[in-house]
Amino acid sequence: MNTIYHIDAVVAKGTDEGTGDSGQWTGDRMSTVQSHRDLIVWQKAMDLSVLVYRLAEQFPKTETYRLVSQITRAVTSVPANIAEGHARGSSKDFAHFLAIAKGSLMETETFMTLAVRLEYIDSNDAKDTFELLTEISKMLTILRKKLLGTGNRG
């Protein structure tokens, strides 16, 4: 089964796989999302993690326990917080974890910018990563606003 559900600008793909989570934190179209894996924003955050890990392999070995450690921790926190928030019982809790995911995303962007400035990676090699960072940031903001039902800063 490969049904597509629209959550305004955030799209989720439904599959038969998942954790069995009820996904019932709002009672509207969001309740059709059965697992965090159904959320495109989570899928893109996982893609971002893979991209960043591959780029971090190019960093000097002296950065293994410094910048590599920080950037990989930050980038993996993004999908992890989306997943944890989805597993929570309320829209407010989910929105809180999306805010944490957004903070980790901004940490990742900062560490990527530093890696480019330090010339550990070429800016052209990081272009797709920065584009994906921006896309995920927008998706997190939209989803968070929808969960809170407000136009507050995301």
Taking only the tens place, the pLDDT of each residue in 43-71 is: 999 999 999 999 999 999 999 999 999 99
Q: What CATH number has the domain bearing residue 72? A: 1.20.1440.60
User: Which tokens sit at 6?
Assistant: 């629209």
Q: Is residue 51 part of a domain?
A: yes
Dist CA 47 CA 79 (whole Å): 10
97 close to 128: Cβ distance less than 8 angstroms: no
> Mapping DSSP to helix (H, G, I), strand (E, B) and coil, where does residue 96 land?
helix
Report the DSSP beta bridge partners of residue 6. 11
Q: Is residue 103 part of a domain?
A: yes
Residue 130: domain span: 39-148
Q: What is the pLDDT of residues 101-124, one digit of tens each?
A: 999 999 999 999 999 999 999 999
Q: Please calculate the CA angle 34-140-66 and round it to the nearest 5 degrees.
A: 110
Q: What pLDDT is stored for residue 33 in this prediction?
A: 76
Q: Is the pLDDT of residue 126 over 50?
A: yes
Q: Is residue 15 part of a domain?
A: no
